[in-house]
Structure 1
Amino acid sequence: MLRLAHSKQVSALKRIRTLRGTGTLEEWFRAPTLTIKHTPVSGTDEGGGGESRDNRDAVPTETTVDGPFEVHRTSTVSFAWSNEARSLRSNVRCVPPTIYKAIQDKKTYNIREDLAANYLVRPDGFYQMLPDRRYGEFSGFPATLFGGEPTRVVERKANEVANELRGFSYLFDPSTMFEIGGSRVDQLCERYLQFASSPDLRERLAVGRREDGSLLVTTQYVNSAGGESEPSLTVEVVLDAGVEFLPVEASFLNRNDILTQSLSWEYSDNESVVVPTRFRHTKHDDTGSRVQQRVMTITDVEVNERLSDADFALSSISVDDGDRLIDRVENQLKVIEGGVPVLIQQPSSSSSRRLWLVLANVAAASFLVLVFAVRKLRARAGKAD
């Protein structure tokens, strides 16, 4: 039965080549404190309505409120993903308010967070664009390197950085909806088959069939590095025959059978292609209490539509001509011209030395001229006396 499930999964995932659409990202997590920013107010609107207006020139102040807090944040998302091009574009906008609820006294704070985060993952790197972020705040690239008026900045980093952000961050990656514990579901099922065929591992795998035809697969993992013989982790996965044996539930339990992570999926049939439309990932502490949760929902999706280069161009994450690009991969500063990063030429060290020598010679000559002029004036003054 596992072999059939694996075959169905491989076929189902192979049929999903591209995805483009919109969705929502709901996050629930705990925070130790809350920082409230206060914008000074000056006067009222000219219309006489009595409404206060912000003093844009004044420096905002901050108040820190001790928690802990339960935080709930909702964002809207637009995305494009191509398995063939190995590319992802993710545009996220926070929907106010972000709700902070004190765990102890249950007091609620509604905070306006105008967050906008745009991400682009391509074979040539991971691009991160925060539209409200200006230069002068980046380690290794002081503001003096930029020059001119303030401009927006996009950063290019190694793709490994994107891999670290895929689980719990603003990076909305629909391919994570095909994974369990960082492994794609068909690869995980292939591992089940290896367990089943190994005399040493067979006893750590249990496969049960439910009345609805779904499979409950239970796998026990041992920490071999620690020389242990008892299972340190148990993973239970429900594979639903109605959706090509893709997972609908998954649970991770520690050695004390306490839930540490739980996952759930919902799917839709899009012209014979099964597509996940809702993915919930919850983390728990050592007592089994929920500490973090992320829910990805796809509200509208185009499956296997042809995606153009424009879907993964820098302009797709709101990068415009004149914006600066901090290239962390090549450790260079660039400017966007015609939608393409162009290196900002900095004077070489030898050129800088020659420039300083010229300036020093000019300064020395000017000093000598000044000394000569002063002496001449003094000489004339002496003759006059």
Structure 2
Amino acid sequence: MSSTATASEHIQDLGAYVSASPSSYHAVHEGARRLEAAGFTALDERQPWVGGAGAFFVIRDGALIAWVTPEGAGATTPFNVLGAHTDSPSFKLKPRPTTGRFGWLQAGVEVYGGPLLNSWLDRELRLAGRLVLRDGSEHLTATGPVLRFPQLAIHLDRGVNDGLKLDKQHHMNPVFGLGDPEQEDLLAVLAAAVPGGGVAPEQIGGYDVVVADSQAPAVFGAKGEFFASGRLDNLSATHAGLVALIAHAEAGAPAGGPVAVLAAFDHEELGSGSRSGACGPFLEDILARISDGLGASASQRRQAMAASFCVSADAGHAVHPNYPERHDPVNKPLLNGGPLLKINANQRYATDAQGAAFWARLCGEAGVPYQEFVSNNDVPCGSTIGPLTATRLGIRTVDVGVPLLSMHSARELCGVEDPYRLAVVAELFFRTAV
């Protein structure tokens, strides 16, 4: 994708990215593939780095940080960081995952984050993630459609349309075949799905595998104005950041400008408390090493951080036409009305007046409309990586994102214009001094 792409081209590319990214590990692998194709250099945290201008990236588990250091960058050059996340609410495979009874083979899964459980019913689902062998080698795996959470027929629950209640332990056990669970092994299915001929299932020492929808993303609507896909929260922002950073690098980072950084964290849906999450040290570690490479002292690094800025990009809520009472009575964002500026008095979002003004400036210069989002006072507000990054690093942060319907569904809904508009503003942000 280039900075001259259209909204239609961008949404098709977002669909391709989502399809290639059924897990956070696949999302960073696909991101790395695109970055390397654009000339970025992969770095290893365990090795020394040479400082200076260039385009680089680092992967830590299911998280990725990529950056472009311009010519002329020095010890006090600030960072313009776009933060996003690679995980989505789903289900994660448990230890000893092959279960079942009454002739059914079932997968033992644990709820990951806060999915809309009913949206996962009666869909053809796949498994994806990483396998780690006993020798320490790591392998991505992704099956085709192998799972389904079958819903109970209405004939056996006549009151289901008056209120569906799903027990996470007893009702959310997907089927994947027929047979004796003592004679079958779901891990063998995952081992065979490793690209390049598979691996031996008996060598699997550990795994991080999630359930993902197998249905392809689609553009639809009377005028083709809608886009339906799994994992729009938050691959819509991760993809926008990738497209914007690559376009920024290809256009040539302006000499003396900020260091442009994309930070795509894992585990946001769980609270970000991990070594690859926003509460962990990943971003701080990388920014410190970039500063070291530019010859910064501890004092100069603090100067650079004080002048830095973070745009936390995560999906937000569009007004729902069937539930208007759940939204603020004045601020009612629409699909294709532009990316959201997310505001919360209790700092569930990190936006303040300075951040709001900067976002307004960026959108104005980019020719992109934006919409303000604030929660109904009677509805608790969700949160993002924004407050976490601001608290950990002290960088001024603004929370933004693509408006969605059906957030945390197996298949979410956005407008075809908004992801593209977010990428356009993100590219401008990467090259703009605050």
* Structure 1 length-normalised TM: 0.26
Highest RCO, 1 vs 2 (Cα 8 Å, sep ≥ 6): 2
Q: Name whichever structure is richer in strand by fraction.
A: 1
Kindly name which structure, 1 or 2, has the bigger radius of gyration based on alpha carbons: 1
